[in-house]
Amino acid sequence: MLRPILRLGDSILSEPARAVGEITPEIETLIDDMIETMYAAPGIGLAAPQVGVPLRVAVVDLSLGKRGGELFTLVNPEFVEREGMQLEEEGCLSVPGFNATVARPARVIVRALDRTGASHIVEGTNLLARALQHEFDHLDGLLFLDRLRGIKRDLIVRRIRKMQRAGRW
Q: Which residues, 6+ apart, have CB-to-CB distance to 106 below 8 Å?
A: 83, 84, 85, 86, 125, 126, 129
- In the set 13, 44, 92, 132, which binds Zn ion (CB under 5 A)? 92
Q: Which residues, 6+ apart, have CB-to-CB distance to 139 below 8 Å?
A: 16, 17, 47, 48, 49, 56, 58, 77
Least gap, CB of 142 to Zn ion (angstroms): 9
Please tell me the distance from the alpha carbon of residue 168 to that of residue 49, in angstroms, as a whole number. 22
Query: Which listed range, 64-72, 89-97, 110-118, 153-161, lies at the site for Zn ion (CB under 5 A)?
Result: 89-97
C-beta separation of 5 from 39 below 8 A: no
Which residue in the shown chain puts its C-beta closest to Zn ion? Answer: 92
Asked if 59 interacts with Zn ion (CB under 5 A), we say no
Nearer to Zn ion, 23 or 34 (CB): 34
Least gap, CB of 169 to Zn ion (angstroms): 16
Least gap, CB of 72 to Zn ion (angstroms): 15
Query: Which listed range, 5-13, 67-75, 85-93, 146-154, lies at the site for Zn ion (CB under 5 A)?
Result: 85-93
The answer to whether residue 15 is catalytic is: no
Least gap, CB of 43 to Zn ion (angstroms): 8
Q: Catalogue the active-site residues.
A: 135
**Residues in touch with Zn ion (CB under 5 A):** 92
